[in-house]
């Protein structure tokens, strides 16, 4: 059952197009992440949903109502700002009550809704403090309480974790997931951090250059990227993207299914995506191994990561073996995302190859 | 929403017009060919501008204003800059009080002070002297100069000097080669502001300027009170406004130069 | 008051050396500004001596003050001046709040140019705008000329020589004093705060009453006080625009100091103005708690 439908959204500032033909659908209760690098238009899209800016073209439907030209103050959409945007002259409780006062809720009901919202973000004891007397994390929870107290039809979160220190980020991530489960609010969150998007969202919309380039479950976005951009942006580390010269990577005979797929793709320039966790460092000369030089093995606690250089200068990350620095080979382990072939010019995915 | 923006822009435009209307009318009136300005003007001419350059009396009073303002500016920027340096880079006892003291003339009513200062000057035999006039102007320009320079110094990252010292510069050289070049714009701004305030001052000058040192504003004020408006003064006023506007535009368009 | 600045990486001066740097400016201000201020009260208690500028300081007397308080003329003038100053402050704030809010939401060159336009009259001093104002408000001036040209009035509106004309002139003269403090306060409040209010359901009118006005409140008070004080002690604009037909308190002080040459009385008038300003400051500070 679709709840929010955006179609053909366009927005340009002067001659710079910020959003081009953005269309997507969201089901009620879904948690969506808009993921992309800065300048990709994700924040513009969020502000457009909130009604803070008007689209040049396109339509926005929420629960069957056309919201496109409706002013922000009549939309019933909660927005949690990146810098929280708490009213500095109002106490925590007055901040949370603001939206309820604007809706003319009876005092008693407003009071219980404020208490309920503050309870939900675990700030009941701070109701009379001023925002300036709270820590960053607490200010953010006030901002969330303020947005959800009005029981919005849509909850928008703008980079909610970017202003928190690394330690707090993990906790708040869990809190957000918990909040979503308890309130059931349809939520759209903007982030540039792919790990946040993968861990929180039911579906992720990857944005680039003012467009949604792929929208799907975190698993799909990670393991079946539609474009080289998605492949290079999602995952930590993301997939290795290898340029495939017409005569192949020097010294490498790919496994037969992959070799056939590459041959089938024709003579155009190709890019091959290989995920680090699917690659294993072995001794030089191993069957179907890519000849490479092991330059360093990075120790990351739970895992180790091998940094390699191919004979043509391209670099590669892989799972290390016992080999020391020097000449080695790299083979496919046959686990995880499938090797994926892209058209180098358009960046579009051509085929995923089971080996 | 679009209509709201338009209404708001119109309102703001009207307020801006209200704010600058006197200046615009002054310029228009200066070009009126008649002896008495009327609106709409009967004809426009440059005759009062030409007359302004030919009038020895007005030339002399403008020159006096320039001399007084220049002296006041040099003294204010010198003493104010020194004081700002002492406040930024030292921790003298009573720092906050010293700063408040030097800035006090900005906060207290100048007319009240001028009435008292007039008497003190007179009793000490300095009434009507150039010295007294300059002293009065320095009192109003010094706090302005110090405040601007203080703000400039405060904005400059002191780590730049630390970096220079770590590269082998002596503390004095580090200051001269990093902070001072970066502060040049602020110091120039302090000088321009001091000059402007002194050059335009009528409130204090009219109390302490003797017969021998009638600056242009004092002359203009006397004329407006008594004789009625001489169109030559309109032309001079328009030229002063012109210089201020050209100066402001030049500052805005001047390429931001890097300190050497 | 500013807290002591961090010495940080900057070259620091010893306390003695820094005092030496500050001393010339501090001593100058203390001697030429502070001292006359302190002497003012004493000077106002002296009695004038016939045929001499130097009054008799040996027998302090409150004669000057009893003259101010006993004569209806001075009290009436004080009341008129206070009322006109209040009107000026109110007018300035009414124009400055939307103007400052507009400026605070601009950036870059547009903001610098617009701010410069607002500050231009200030940069031209007290006299030049007044000179233009006379031609704006005069019987043959721009306002009357336009209204007559449009056939809206038969005879010119009396603007020069009236309290209304003076208040218009003072608003024009001191508008920047109101804009700058409000601008400073609004610059510290990010625009997203207003967007937050809008997404929570605040209509534009409620946004102004519930968010912008309270946020600008300290700036409104500071600007209002500054304009009020400036208007109260102004004598140039009231003299020229009022054409001598309207007396203000500062004009009386000016006349006593420079024309009548009764310096003790001029001093007493100055002290009275100072007292009125102090009262205004106290009232303003008490208003700070009434932030909406």
For residue B175, tell me if it sits in a domain: yes
Was domain C68-288 assigned CATH 1.10.3720.10?
Answer: yes
Arithmetic mean of pLDDT, A76-91: 94
Confidence band of B258 (pLDDT split at 50, 70, 90): very low
Closest approach of C288 to chain A, Cα-based (Å): 13
Arithmetic mean of pLDDT, A270-277: 95
CATH number for position B189:
1.10.3720.10
In whole angstroms, what is the distance from residue C242 CA to residue C130 CA?
A: 11
In whole angstroms, what is the distance from residue B47 CA to residue B33 CA?
A: 7
In whole angstroms, what is the distance from residue A156 CA to residue A81 CA?
A: 9
Return the pLDDT at B243.
94
DSSP secondary structure string, C66-86?
HHHHH-HHHHHHHHHHHHHHH
Return the pLDDT at C4.
38
Return the pLDDT at A335.
86
ipTM summary value? 0.90
Residue among A252, A131, A301, A129 nearest C189 (CA): A131
Which residues of chain C are at the A interface, by a Cβ-Cβ cutoff of 8 Å? Answer: 189-190, 192-193, 195-203, 206, 210-211, 214-215, 291
Contact by Cβ (8 Å): B127, B117: no
For residue B64, tell me if it sits in a domain: yes
Phi, psi angles (nearest 5°) of residue A75: -95, -25
In whole angstroms, what is the distance from residue B31 CA to residue B45 CA?
A: 5
Arithmetic mean of pLDDT, A215-229: 96
DSSP secondary structure string, A29-86?
T-EEEEE--TTSSHHHHHHHHHTSS--SEEEEEETTEE-TT--GGGS-EEEE-TT---
Arithmetic mean of pLDDT, A170-183: 92
- For chain C, the domains span 68-288
Return the pLDDT at C10.
63
In whole angstroms, what is the distance from residue B172 CA to residue B169 CA?
A: 8
In whole angstroms, what is the distance from residue B46 CA to residue C34 CA?
A: 47
Residue among C164, C110, C210, B243 nearest A87 (CA): C210
* A88/C193 Cβ within 8 A: yes
Arithmetic mean of pLDDT, C175-197: 95
Report whether pLDDT(A41) > 80.
Answer: yes
For residue B19, tell me if it sits in a domain: no
Report whether pLDDT(A92) > 80.
Answer: yes
* C140/B37 Cβ within 8 A: yes
Closest approach of A80 to chain C, Cα-based (Å): 8
Arithmetic mean of pLDDT, A297-306: 92
Closest approach of B253 to chain C, Cα-based (Å): 10
Helix or strand or coil: residue B133? Answer: helix
Residue B248 sits at the chain C interface (C-beta within 8 Å): yes
Return the number of CB contacts < 8 Å for A and C: 68
Report whether pLDDT(C8) > 60.
Answer: no
Return the pLDDT at C5.
44
Confidence band of B259 (pLDDT split at 50, 70, 90): very low
DSSP secondary structure string, B166-226?
HTT--HHHHIIIIIHHHHHHHHHHHHHHHHHHHHH--TTHHHH--GGG--HHHHHHHHHHT
In whole angstroms, what is the distance from residue C137 CA to residue C127 CA?
A: 15
Residue among A277, A270, A268 nearest A316 (CA): A277
Residue B23 sits at the chain C interface (C-beta within 8 Å): yes
Question: Mind spelling out the 3-state secondary structure of A77-136?
Answer: EEEECCCCCCCCCCCHHHHHHHHHHHCCCCHHHHHHHHHHHHHHCCCHHHCCCCHHHCCH
Helix or strand or coil: residue A14? Answer: coil
Closest approach of A301 to chain C, Cα-based (Å): 38
Strands A315-318, A304-310: pairing is: antiparallel
For residue B218, tell me if it sits in a domain: yes
Return the pLDDT at C3.
37
In whole angstroms, what is the distance from residue B245 CA to residue B242 CA?
A: 5
Q: pLDDT by residue (tens digit) across C66-81?
A: 999 988 999 999 999 9
In whole angstroms, what is the distance from residue A232 CA to residue A239 CA?
A: 6
Answer yes or no: pTM beyond 0.80: yes
Confidence band of B253 (pLDDT split at 50, 70, 90): confident
Return the pLDDT at C6.
45
User: In this structure, is the dihedral angle defined by the CA atoms of residues C28, C34, C37 and C43, taken in order, positive or negative?
Assistant: negative
Domain extent, residue B152, equals: 56-253
* B233/C34 Cβ within 8 A: no
Return the pLDDT at A219.
96
Please count the structural domains in chain B.
1
Other Cβ atoms within 10 Å of A221 Cβ, number:
27
Contacts of C17 (CB under 8 A, 6+ apart): B86, B90
Confidence band of B260 (pLDDT split at 50, 70, 90): very low
Rg for chain B (alpha carbons), in Å? Answer: 23
Contact by Cβ (8 Å): B178, C64: no
Return the pLDDT at B224.
87
Report whether pLDDT(B257) > 80.
Answer: no
Confidence band of C9 (pLDDT split at 50, 70, 90): low
For residue B209, tell me if it sits in a domain: yes
Return the pLDDT at A270.
94
Arithmetic mean of pLDDT, C18-42: 93
* C128/B85 Cβ within 8 A: no
**Per-chain mean pLDDT for chain A:** 93
**Per-chain mean pLDDT for chain C:** 90
Subunits that touch chain A (at least 3 Cβ pairs < 8 angstroms)?
C
Chain B CB contacts of C136 under 8 Å are 21-22, 25
């Amino acid at each position: 059952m679709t709840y929010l439908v955006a179609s053909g959204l366009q927005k340009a500032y002067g001659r710079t197009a910020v959003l081009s033909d953005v269309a997507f659908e969201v089901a009620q209760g879904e948690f969506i992440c808009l993921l992309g690098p800065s300048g990709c238009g994700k924040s513009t899209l969020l502000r457009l949903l909130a009604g803070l800016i008007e689209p040049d073209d396109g339509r926005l439907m929420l629960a069957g109502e056309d919201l496109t030209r409706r002013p922000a103050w009549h939309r019933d959409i909660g927005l949690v700002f990146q810098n929280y945007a708490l009213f500095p002259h109002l106490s925590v409780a007055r901040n949370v009550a603001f939206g309820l006062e604007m809706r003319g809720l009876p005092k008693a009901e407003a009071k219980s809704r404020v208490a309920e919202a503050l309870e939900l973000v675990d700030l009941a004891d701070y109701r009379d403090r001023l925002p300036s007397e709270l820590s960053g994390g607490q200010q953010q929870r006030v901002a969330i309480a303020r947005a959800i107290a009005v029981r919005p039809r849509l909850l928008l979160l703008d980079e909610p974790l970017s202003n928190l220190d690394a330690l707090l980020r993990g906790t708040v991530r869990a809190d957000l997931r918990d909040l979503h489960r308890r309130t059931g609010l349809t939520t759209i969150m903007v982030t540039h951090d792919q790990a946040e998007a993968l861990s929180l969202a039911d579906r992720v919309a990857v944005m680039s250059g003012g467009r949604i380039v792929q929208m799907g479950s975190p698993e799909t976005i990670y393991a079946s990227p539609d474009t080289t951009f998605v492949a290079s942006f999602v995952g930590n580390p993301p997939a290795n993207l290898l340029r495939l010269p017409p005569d192949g990577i020097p010294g490498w005979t790919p496994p037969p299914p992959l070799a056939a797929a590459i041959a089938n793709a024709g003579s155009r320039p190709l890019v091959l995506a290989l995920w680090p966790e699917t690659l294993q460092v072995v001794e030089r000369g191993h069957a179907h191994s890519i000849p490479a030089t092991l330059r360093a093995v990075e120790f990351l606690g739970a895992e180790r990561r091998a940094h390699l250089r191919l004979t043509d200068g391209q670099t590669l990350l892989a799972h290390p073996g016992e080999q020391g620095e020097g000449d080695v080979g790299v083979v496919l382990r046959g686990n995880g995302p499938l090797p994926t072939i892209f058209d180098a010019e358009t960046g579009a995915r051509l085929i995923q190859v089971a080996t | 929403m679009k209509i709201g923006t338009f209404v708001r822009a119109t309102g703001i435009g009207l307020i801006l017009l209200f704010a600058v209307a006197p200046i615009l009318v002054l310029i228009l009136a200066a070009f009126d060919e008649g002896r008495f300005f009327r609106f709409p003007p009967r004809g426009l001419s440059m005759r009062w501008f030409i007359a302004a350059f030919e009038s020895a009396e007005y030339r002399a009073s403008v020159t006096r204003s320039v001399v007084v303002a220049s002296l006041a500016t040099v003294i204010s920027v010198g003493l104010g800059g020194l004081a700002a340096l002492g406040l930024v880079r030292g921790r003298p006892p009573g720092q906050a009080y010293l700063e408040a003291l030097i800035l006090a003339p900005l906060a207290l009513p100048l007319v009240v002070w001028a009435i008292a200062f007039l008497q003190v000057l007179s009793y000490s035999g300095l009434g009507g002297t150039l010295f007294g006039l300059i002293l009065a102007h320095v009192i109003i320009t010094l706090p302005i100069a110090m405040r601007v320079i203080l703000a400039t110094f405060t904005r400059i990252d002191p780590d730049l000097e630390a970096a220079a010292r770590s590269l082998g510069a002596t503390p004095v050289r580090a200051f001269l080669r990093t902070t001072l070049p970066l502060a040049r714009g602020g110091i120039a701004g302090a000088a321009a502001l001091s000059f402007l305030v002194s050059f335009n001052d009528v409130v204090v000058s009219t109390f302490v300027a003797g017969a021998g040192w009638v600056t242009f504003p004092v002359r203009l004020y006397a004329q407006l009170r008594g004789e009625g408006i001489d169109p030559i003064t309109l032309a001079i006023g328009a030229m002063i406004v012109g210089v201020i506007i050209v100066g402001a535009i030049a500052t805005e368009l001047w390429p931001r130069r890097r300190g050497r | 008051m500013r807290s002591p600045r961090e010495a940080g990486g900057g070259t620091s001066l010893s306390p003695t050396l820094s005092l030496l740097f500050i001393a010339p400016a501090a001593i100058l201000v203390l001697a030429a500004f502070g001292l006359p201020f302190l002497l003012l009260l004493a000077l106002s208690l002296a009695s004038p001596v016939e045929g001499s500028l130097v009054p008799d300081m040996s027998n302090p007397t409150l004669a000057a003050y009893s003259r101010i308080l006993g004569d209806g003329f001075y009290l009436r003038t004080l009341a008129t001046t206070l009322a006109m100053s209040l009107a000026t402050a109110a007018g300035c704030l009414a124009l400055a709040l939307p103007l400052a809010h507009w400026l605070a939401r601009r950036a870059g060159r547009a903001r610098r140019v617009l701010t410069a336009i607002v500050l231009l009259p200030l940069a031209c001093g007290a006299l030049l705008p007044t000179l233009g104002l006379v031609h704006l408000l005069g019987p043959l001036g721009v306002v009357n000329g336009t209204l007559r040209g449009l056939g809206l009035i038969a005879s010119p509106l009396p603007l020069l020589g009236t309290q209304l004309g003076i208040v218009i002139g003072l608003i024009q003269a001191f508008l920047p004093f109101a804009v700058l403090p409000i601008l400073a306060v609004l610059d510290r409040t990010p625009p997203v705060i207003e967007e937050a209010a809008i997404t929570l359901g605040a209509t534009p009118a409620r946004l102004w009453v519930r968010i912008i006005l309270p946020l600008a409140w300290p700036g409104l008070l500071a600007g209002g006080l500054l304009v009020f004080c400036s208007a109260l002690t102004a004598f140039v604009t009231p003299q020229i625009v009022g054409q001598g037909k309207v007396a203000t308190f500062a004009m009386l002080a000016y006349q006593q100091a420079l024309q009548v040459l009764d310096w003790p009385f001029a001093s007493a008038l100055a002290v009275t103005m100072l007292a009125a300003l102090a009262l205004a400051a106290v009232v303003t500070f008490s208003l700070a708690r009434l932030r909406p």
